[in-house]
A and B are shown apart, each in its own frame.
Chain A
Amino acid sequence: MEKSTKRRAILAFAGAALVLFSGSLGLVLLPDSATFPIVVEASDVDDTCSGIAVEASTLGAARASGSVAGGDIVPVRSIEDPYPILHNEAAATENNRVVMSDSNRGSILFYERTSGGDSSKVTSPKWQVRGPATGMMFIAGVALDAASHEVFAVNNDIGDRMEVFPYDVEGNVKPKRVLFVPHGSWGVSLDRTRAEIAISVEHINSVVVYRREATQGEAPLRVIHGPQTGLADPHGIAFDVATKEIMVSNHGNWAPLTRAQATEGGLQGGRFALPSITTYPTEAKGDARPTRAIQGARTELNWPMGISLDAVHDEIAVASYGNNSILIFHRSDNGDAAPVRVIRGNRTGILGPMGVAIDTKNDELWVTNYRDHSAVVFPRLAEGNVAPKRILRNAPAGTAAVGFGNPGAVTYDSKREEILVPN
């Protein structure tokens, strides 16, 4: 037992090394003819399959002996991204804070508002909250409450909960509050005047509104859901407190959830609609029609992700992932409206934008990149193919972004010798 325990310790170290120094460990291929070079005793494995005894064996030998082949095998290659991948962001100008969600390592990162520069060096966050006690996993939307000094973080496709943390905490800390939210929640926005939070839910094409202080299994106050809502794979969400509205970005995917839904009002199947920004009264519920919808070829929307409202200048900024753009619309735009400004091009540093935040106090616009380890900051009125005024990097410049986000399948392309992963 002592011997095997020691062996396991070596394997664990090798596994960690594979992540940290994987480039140097490439192609450690095992000989074809060998039986397993790694022997792990059943008692040494955290084995939950009752009745399984793990021992070194070929499949054939295992079959003959009635035992199980394999065990705790070290992968010969692995692809992982050790750096945060920025998913969404929120800025609180009152406190000079910017918070970003990291869907790769399940963390939130706090930066000073003036962070970043033009160098290729990494910008360290002021605080990072991460670890098993936080409960954060595939984290997507974030929102800040500068008055209550709280940050709201929504788990997307796994976790199904929203964690609330106070400002100025760091590391592996328990959340202040936890709210169970629907599977597929993505965006979150806060209405301080009504003390409410709104969350967009991809899978069920809904907006759910809760009390700001809601916790555990508390039911939402209101739900916007139904065929007339125009909600179709919703992502970004923003309260407009002044006009008493909620804006939502939609990718346009819709499909019935159940056989009953597929026959409501006649037989219907899945469909692709054009992406859109739909707007509802704050108090809308049920199958409410949007009061406005920005949708059409002139909008240039392409997988619209995060949205941000500029209530001072009556504008909306949209992170348009599919065409690496930030699109600015008038706050009251409706129909097939062209954006008033577009930030796009090879000088912008925008690559797979997920989040956007407008800082009206300091006249800046922040963008988080999913396909690059960076966030970029522009003057609020930036337009065209312009360089950002600051870049925040969470990995050295040029570091590849693997881009996995809760991946669920894999296949092998034998013609090109490539491994394909839908994400």
Chain B
Amino acid sequence: MFARLANGNAGPVRVIEGQGTKLSRTMHGIVYDAAHDEMIVPVHLAGALLVFRGDAKGEQAPIRVIQGPHTGILRPETTALDLMHDEIYVGEDGGKDILVFPREANGDVTPLRTIRGPKTGLDEVRGVAVDPVRNVIVVSSRSRTGTTGLFIFNRTDDGDVTPRAIIGGPKTGILRIRQIAVDAEQGKIFVAVKNNKESYRFEAASPSPWNPDEPGFIGVWDITDNGDVPPRAIIKGLASGLVWPAGVALNSKDREIYTIDSVRNGMFTFHMPEFFGSKRP
């Protein structure tokens, strides 16, 4: 955990770590629940969803754990919260699915709904977000054989359902995709387009895993977009510092966008009032 205004070579203000936390390496999702002061983290290597108190630190145990054969969870990759309907969403890469649980679920519980199957188009799910106002779920999915992009479902969809919209294709610039965030007030989807297609070529004069041919970016789409459409807004380029942005989060109050870069091992804050509409929350 870093102070919002931290800058430079700043250390964390809090760290949750150790065996007692049940955390592991390879955690690719996180969401903070401001209403209940909790944070939720999927643990990929243990097939679990951990819920911590908002002020947790050190080797503090989670207050709830969703894990077990009845949960249907294989390797959870990403998570999102719908506070309006009191639900937790879990997205899985290997499971190729979205699982929905009650927010206060604990233990080996069955999901309320599952979106999974060939009609969904979902493959390696990397990000999920909910727009409870428009009653839709946005899922980022990467596929080696199908479509890589944003899949939009009705919020209450269940089973092998067809998405209501898919944003993907060459005009989107999306090659590989990770965490997403939704600004429900504006109806915008913020996407970490990682594009981590390695360009390491053994025979090349200057192979470069650091500067891939297709650098990543933060892209913004309308939640009503559909098809092969370019982003409405973008943060990308040398000055941005972004190489492989893997995560994105919003701070509407201060009109900031946070992104984390997996090659730079860095976190970048962009002050973007233009991306947040005219009204302050």
Within 8 Å of chain B (Cβ to Cβ): is A311?
no
Closest Cβ–Cβ distance, residue A309 to chain B (whole Å): 23
Chain B hits for A413, CB < 8 A: 1, 32, 34, 39, 54
Within 8 Å of chain B (Cβ to Cβ): is A262?
yes
Near B by CB (< 8 A), chain A positions 387-423 give: 399-423
Q: Would A133 and B258 count as touching, CB distance under 8 A?
A: no
Q: Would B251 and A76 count as touching, CB distance under 8 A?
A: no
Chain A hits for B24, CB < 8 A: 233, 251, 253
Q: Would A258 and B171 count as touching, CB distance under 8 A?
A: no
Q: Would A133 and B231 count as touching, CB distance under 8 A?
A: no
Near A by CB (< 8 A), chain B positions 22-48 give: 22-32, 34, 37, 39, 41, 43-48
Within 8 Å of chain B (Cβ to Cβ): is A288?
no
Chain B hits for A48, CB < 8 A: 173, 195, 213-215
Closest Cβ–Cβ distance, residue B211 to chain A (whole Å): 7
Within 8 Å of chain B (Cβ to Cβ): is A159?
yes
Chain B residue with the shortest CB-CB distance to A32? B273
A69 to B12, CA, bound (A): 32
Chain A hits for B196, CB < 8 A: 158
Q: Would B239 and A8 count as touching, CB distance under 8 A?
A: yes
Q: Would A418 and B4 count as touching, CB distance under 8 A?
A: yes
Among candidates A54, A322, A404, A417, residue contacting B265 with C-beta atoms closer than 8 Å: A404
A174 to B204, CA, bound (A): 10
Q: Would B206 and A409 count as touching, CB distance under 8 A?
A: no
With contacts A303-B19, A404-B266 known, is A418 near B214, CB below 8 A?
A: no
Chain B hits for A178, CB < 8 A: 202
Closest Cβ–Cβ distance, residue A379 to chain B (whole Å): 27
Q: Counting chain A CB atoms within 10 Å of each CB, which of B17, B237, B248, B272 scores highest?
A: B237
Contact with A along B45-62 (1 / 0, CB 8 A): 111100000110001000
Among candidates B10, B74, B209, B247, residue contacting A410 with C-beta atoms closer than 8 Å: B247
Q: Would B238 and A135 count as touching, CB distance under 8 A?
A: no
Q: Would A255 and B75 count as touching, CB distance under 8 A?
A: yes
Residues of A within 8 A of B (CB): 8, 11-12, 14-15, 18, 21-23, 25-27, 29-30, 32-36, 38, 40, 45-52, 54, 57-60, 62-63, 68-83, 104-106, 132-133, 135, 137-138, 157-159, 174, 178, 184, 202-203, 233, 251-259, 262, 267-272, 275, 301-303, 321-323, 399-423
| Given pairs A27-B5, A46-B215, A48-B173, 9 additional interface contacts (CB within 8 A) | A30-B271, A32-B273, A59-B188, A135-B200, A158-B198, A255-B46, A407-B247, A419-B269, A421-B1
Residues of B within 8 A of A (CB): 1-15, 17-20, 22-32, 34, 37, 39, 41, 43-48, 54-55, 59, 67-71, 73-75, 78, 94-95, 108, 170-173, 178-179, 186, 188, 195-196, 198, 200, 202, 206-211, 213-215, 217, 219-220, 222, 230-241, 246-251, 253, 255-256, 258-275, 277
